[in-house]
Amino acid sequence: MNIFKEIMRDNIGRIGFFGVLLVLIFGILAPFIAPHSPTEMFTNDLLSSPSGQFIFGTDEYGYDVFSRVVYGARVSMYVGVVSVAIASIIGSLLGLIAGYFGGWIDNIIMRFMDILFAFPSILLALAIVSVLGTELINTIISIGIVMTPVFTRTVRAAVISVKSKEFITSAVSIGIKDSRIIFKHVLPNVMAPFIVQMTLSLSSAILVEASLSFLGLGIQPPDPSWGSMLNLSRKYMELAPWTAIFPAVAIIFTILSFNLLGDSLRDILDPKLKI
């Protein structure tokens, strides 16, 4: 199956794909797209409304809002991708082990995941960042920990389903090593739900990062972050609404794009939904 062609045939998937692609382009090409440095202060143009010079206006410090929104895409995508990569690697390994071996190993792993699941994502991330500190790497680690249980459960459920198949039973009966069965036969057959979960988790990770930054525990000013931009704009929303509108729209657009792409991938990769 050509997944890309299937996405292009689906209206929802097409919208999500091009939305994600647009955010990626803005993030990667931020130095070429942004007209100003995100930390350059125009002290003579504080809270200037959108104009030809500043198409999204300026904030209370004289920062160009458009430039900070563009560079904010780079920060959000970087944090989202790296944290989800950490969560997906750790979570999928734990899910593979728990689902394949079962028994007490499964119980220990899943009870620990249940403990993490008992906390709302943002509260758990807040607790971890409060302990580790507000550096960028700590934000990434906290989001990675928060996202790990989702991957563990997703992969474990898929492994349990695949493990009952005849080709796995045959491989076990002829004495093939467990490690070879897991990585050669089981893992390729659980990639579909894994890919879908990665796409959906990226939107969650970006939202958690924005929430942490909004609360002052994520990316710290003057570094650009959509969440911190919203936080700083609270006092000027009536006087200069553009300082809040544009970063909010960027967050909504990015999360919606990832969710639409994830929903489309789920429909394409899950054969049960086509029955």
User: What pLDDT was estimated at residue 275?
Assistant: 45
User: What pLDDT was estimated at residue 209?
Assistant: 93
User: What pLDDT was estimated at residue 173?
Assistant: 81
User: What pLDDT was estimated at residue 229?
Assistant: 92
Q: Which residues of the chain have pLDDT under 70?
A: 1, 270-275
User: What pLDDT was estimated at residue 63?
Assistant: 93
User: What pLDDT was estimated at residue 271?
Assistant: 54
Q: What is the extent of the structural domain holding 151?
A: 17-38+53-269
User: What pLDDT was estimated at residue 21?
Assistant: 95
User: What pLDDT was estimated at residue 272?
Assistant: 57
How many CB atoms neighbour CB 143 within 10 A?
Answer: 31
Number of domains forming the structure of the chain: 1
Is residue 5 domain-resident?
no
User: What pLDDT was estimated at residue 44?
Assistant: 84
Is residue 105 domain-resident?
yes
Is residue 212 domain-resident?
yes
CATH of the domain at 202: 1.10.3720.10
207-242, pLDDT tens digit by residue?
999 999 998 888 888 888 999 999 988 888 888 999
108-131, pLDDT tens digit by residue?
999 999 999 888 888 899 999 988
Is residue 127 domain-resident?
yes
User: What pLDDT was estimated at residue 184?
Assistant: 84
Is residue 7 domain-resident?
no
